[in-house]
Amino acid sequence: MRIVIAGGHGQIALRLERLLAGRGDEVAGIIRRPEQGDDLRLVGAEPVLCDLESATVEQVAAHLQGADAAVFAAGAGPGSGAARKDTVDRDAAVLFADAAVRTGVRRHIVVSAMAADPDHQGDDVFDAYLRAKGKADEYVRKQSALDWTILRPGSLTNDPGTGLVRLEASTGRGSIPRDDVATVLAELVDTPATAGLTLELISGSTPVSVAVKSVAGN
């Protein structure tokens, strides 16, 4: 498969790229800065230079040509203000979905956030983040041309992955290593039967492959 990942230099994305390339997939990661390219090459991914905050849908669609799946893993990141939550976490996610529709790349996975809600109240930057993520998710869900799956991890850690998770429509609060989020994403790419699902993810006691098959109805 050829898989294009938005936010290709992110901590989860780099882990996912390594997993996908390691199993033989062709992986491209969209990055904003040329100096990030070497990190992608080290994990076996092709760096694609494109700023999702300023690109047109046509420019992004050109990078999705020939892809079998698209993963949105971009984010403004810690330290960014409320405005960039809108331009990256919301607007770039919408742009990426529109580009996928335009190129006919149906399999579409979004890395969202637990408690994302377009109507979330509050004035803090994190409140803006949850609203932005919620609005992006709401937009993607309306795209009938996409076989979308939305993944909402709990609090992210850099602990080593265990391969044991809880993956459900509602898990309650919890944490999850980024390693395990990447492993779940790799499994979701291969499981189109999860299309149409919004899933929460925290550490648990179920092996990843079993957890994904369970929510897929297998």
Query: Choosing from 129, 148, 151, 199, which is the catalytic residue?
Result: 129
CB distance 188 to 212 below 8 Å: yes
Per-residue confidence (pLDDT) for residue 24, from 0 to 100 = 97
In this structure, the chain runs to a length of 218
> Does 139 qualify as catalytic in the annotation?
no
Average pLDDT over the chain reads 95
Assess contact for 145 and 196: CB atoms under 8 A.
Answer: no
| CB contact at 8 A, 73 and 12 | yes
pLDDT in the model for residue 82 = 82
Find the range with the poorest average confidence among 6-10, 79-83, 101-105, 147-151: 79-83
Residue pLDDT, tens place only, 34-85: 999 999 999 999 999 999 999 999 999 999 999 999 999 998 777 778 888 9
